Structure 1
């Protein structure tokens, strides 16, 4: 089943063309790694998918429903690069249930969903903590829980492993590998992309320049260097 369809997307910020006739289709269950140099448009693409930007041209459809600027789409979950931009309540519990409360769910359904996401993300022990006192890894998983409780069909991860220590990063990777949600992960952490994703897309100069198997794409030294990227260490021995 097609989850997302993007056709002929064009977006320009001041004099900079960010997207030029960009088209993309994403299907249910796919885990997609989105690669590109800084400024290639990864975050802008996420904001466009969420309906937060006015497009110059093109259409974005979520389950055949057109995305309109300014509308709220609970089917889409966005995990910010910095969880401090996502967590704003005093206590962890309040941060996690905030979105569900704004979906006008009953208290019983919220509690049931809360129980499920706490188990899924493994943050039960943090529930009564102050959000600002958490470590970076803990904040990351709480931010994910705050999105999962709304039961989105597509989750967008913007540099999810940024600023995580090795143990927190491994916990995140294991979580992403076991997740059944359709997801797009924008990241410079190429080893994470190699482990988690079954499809990789490379953005450059407003266009998709590669789309396919992660190992094939990331193992292509010429392609990676041409787009200001490096072959992951784990794939260099095969070159």
Structure 2
């Protein structure tokens, strides 16, 4: 991955402020991986994309994660720390974008690909359509269906087969769905919470950018320095100058 300067990250934060989380994640990866295009990154599986985002997060902010969740039983806020090192699940297979995989069940063969960011963007833009057909995201990924070497239409697949295919896709792309088992200290309720690297990382970038802009404002007001000069300073030096102003 290519190093991201504070100026780079601040520009990405500004550009992404009016975009969806999925689009923001692709912007971040495209900047960190200049050899890739937005289109090629959007065609990566969700797990491959999220593995890259997790690595980028470690590069930007380290491996320590500060987490919060609301207990679904008593609504108490649960806080804990974890390490992103524990979230790198079994390595995602080195598949190229849109690699064709196969699900086999007796005489049935289904050729499919893994869901990607392009699929999820389509869902967000046509939410009602996908709500009306909960299996559509899954069936969008089906390329071909054969039963005893005879073509089969997607609409003829039963619910059990679709569920089994969904399980296999989850196993093919484990990084796409990270869960944490939590225990509420207030009521002892246990539940599984999902970890979404997209929202977690962008929330951190938003907090970081807001803090940085405040520092730039203080230093520019006090010393008349240009934003680019302040951004070129190390975080430690900016902090020291801010402390001098506040003395």
Q: TM-score when scaled to structure 1?
A: 0.28
More strand by share: 1
TM-score (norm 2): 0.28
Bigger helix fraction: 2
Greater Rg over alpha carbons, structure: 2
